[in-house]
Structure 1
Amino acid sequence: MKKSVALTLLSLTAGLLLSACGNNEQPATEAASQPAAARKVVVGLDDNFPPMGFRDEQNKLVGFDIDLAREAATRLGVDVEFRPIEWSAKEAELNSGRIDVLWNGLTITEERKQHIGFTSPYMENHQAIVVAANSPINTKADLAGKVVGVQEGSSAVQAVEKEAEITAALKELKKFGDNVTALMDLSAGRLDAVVLDEVVGRYYIAKRADEYRVLEDHFGAEEYGVGTAKENTELLAKLEEALNAMKQDGSAARISEQWFGKNIVK
């Protein structure tokens, strides 16, 4: 009986030891997995918004914001994954945790601030006025009696129409399906000017500097920032720090000049 009891006790003791080892292993496994998850940041974007983020001829994601995000990820020591999303559902994608960051020409607004945490602005975008390189137009006032092109449904339409006096003085505010067609009409002399996002305008102008120029005058400004879920304050602070360092050491300016031919980083 004593031998049997001793064996039973030994068996129970071994079971308890194994159980204890198992309990110790689980947190260790979980702890090991946490840094791996933190080593990647998922960036949500619209992959049809040149030059901020779009697909090139090889279907590779490229763009100004793509390059900025890659540089920031390198500085943070993390991998970055770019995930195209339905832009109209961007806040739901962010707050569900399917993406960590919105970085794609995201305009900072008071309404969005209620649901998204924003970095400080890294770019100020204007509704720019683009004219032919040899055009006599130099100010908004010079648009009186002229034919001006805009992309239908774009913020450029509201920006121009908001200035009622300027709009009334135009010969025509002509709407196009896209900015590229409008710029082609400008080159052909069928338009006197085109109003569009400065980031888009400078992208095309950098490719054809001899054809176009951007006026100092514009139809309003907006600011771009990087967005995170409001509760993800740690990631937001790290992105803010990385962006500030990129501005200070000239990296952001270098990337801007590659895409726009000019430093337009704020």
Structure 2
Amino acid sequence: MKKTLALCVMILAAVSLFAAGSKESGEDSSLKKIQDRGTFILGLDDTFPPMGFRNENNEIVGFDIDLAREVTKRMGVTLLLQPIDWNAKEQELNTGKIDCIWNGFTVTEERKKVVNFSEPYLENAQVAVVKTSSAVTTLADLAGKSIGLQAGSSASNAVDAAPVFKASLKGIVEFKENLTALMDLEIGGVDAVIVDLLVANDNIKRSGKDFRILDESLAPENYAIGFRKNDNALRNAVQKHLDDMAADGTMARISTTWFGADITIVGK
């Protein structure tokens, strides 16, 4: 009995030492897991043009989608697109339902605490969209008025980070999607919508709606890809492919297709 107990203790000690050694070495199986499975699951808000959205055939397309397809092609795995509730994106990531968040995902200090970001690949800004007929020309003109924004978005973070501006507002209406917020602006439910500049430009161009963007932005920002905090191997592999795509002109070509010019910042 004593011999059996001693043997068990020795085995447990060996397992603990092995686990500790693996942890200290910084190794992880995140990349191998993708390679063995043969699929890469990308989490996104599928109503976020031009980054990721559904076209007239209900297919998910967009700038980020084209980037991801090229990256996964170079990785030798199949891209799977998984629409998620944007307000619960970090939970979707950390429970393993998706392998990354890649859909106009803004880097913030708060998100850095729970997400392992790639290097930024696009610059952006949070702006206010109003009707063309609106008398509002500056952010200060929105005092006493209502704004709309997507719940859990960087627009919400930008408003929270501007306490004077936020306190001046009559109210803030949260929507599940940016497109719904812009629809509410169109019918007069809110006086302005705070949204990503790239999304605002794309919406106005595609819809032809009678909107305009204020010249004054609320906050500058960068887009990057979000991975689980300890998934360094996967993060680094994706980053290498993005670096290679920037160097060989592939990223510039994809950007020009969607934006009419190369607006990416990788390697610049």
Give TM-score, length-normalised by structure 1.
0.64
Q: Is the 8 A contact 1:128 1:196 kept in 2?
A: yes
Larger radius of gyration: 1
Identify the residue that residue 149 of structure 2 maps to in structure 1.
151
CA contact (8 A) 2:72 2:79 kept: yes
Q: Deviations over 1:57-81 (max 9, x none)?
A: 3222222221111121123232211
Amino acid aligned to 2:98: I
Alignment RMSD (CA, Å): 4.0
The residue aligned with 1:90 is 89
- Structure 1 equivalent of residue 52 of structure 2: 53
Alignment: residue pair count: 229
Q: Which residue of 2 aligns with 1:127?
A: 126
Trace 1:1-266 onto structure 2 (pairs within 5 A): 37=36, 39-130=38-129, 140=139, 143=141, 149-151=147-149, 153=151, 156=155, 159=158, 163=162, 178-181=180-183, 184=186, 194-207=193-206, 214-261=213-260, 263-266=262-265
Distance in 1 separating the partners of 2:229 and 2:127: 32
| Gap runs ≥5 in structure 2 | 1-31
3-state DSSP class of the match of 1:58? coil
Structure 1 149/72 Cα, relative in aligned 2: closer, same or farther at 3 Å?
same
- Alpha-carbon distance in structure 2 between the residues aligned to 1:137 and 1:250: 41
Q: Secondary structure at the match of 1:115?
A: coil
CA distance in 2, matches of 1:175, 1:89: 18
Q: Structure 2: how far apart are the matches of 1:168 and 1:84?
A: 34
| Alpha-carbon contact 1:108-1:222 (below 8 Å) kept | yes
SS of the equivalent of 1:218 reads coil
For 2:209 and 2:48, locate their aligned partners in 1 and report how far apart those are by CA, in whole Å.
Answer: 24
Secondary structure (helix, strand or coil) at the match of 1:69 reads helix
Structure 1 residue 103 displacement after superposition: 1.1
Match of 1:19 in 2: none
- Taking structure 2 as the reference length, the TM-score comes to 0.64
CA deviations over 1:171-212 (Å, ceiling 9, x no partner): x778586333255369xxx99865422132021133257965
Once the two structures are superposed, what CA deviation does each residue of 1:147-183 show, in whole Å capped at 9, x if it has no partner? 785337565466457656667888x778586333255
Q: Distance in 2 between matches of 1:36 and 1:167?
A: 46
Q: Secondary structure at the match of 2:98?
A: coil
SS of structure 1 residue aligned to 2:119 = coil
**Take 1:184 and 1:162, find their aligned partners in 2: how far apart are those partners?**
26
Instruction: Please say if residues 206 and 260 of structure 1, whose CA atoms lie closer than 8 Å, have aligned partners that are also in contact.
Output: no
Task: Tell whether the 8 Å contact from 1:53 to 1:62 is kept in structure 2 after alignment.
Answer: yes
Gaps of 5+ in 1: 1-32
Cα displacement (A) at 1:100 = 2.1
Asked if the contact 2:148–2:172 (Cα under 8 Å) also holds between the matched residues in 1, the reply is yes
Cα 1:126–1:109 change in 2 (3 A) is same
- AA matched with 1:151: L
Q: 1:136 Cα deviation (Å)?
A: 9.6
Measure the CA separation in 1 of the matches of 2:85 and 2:128.
29
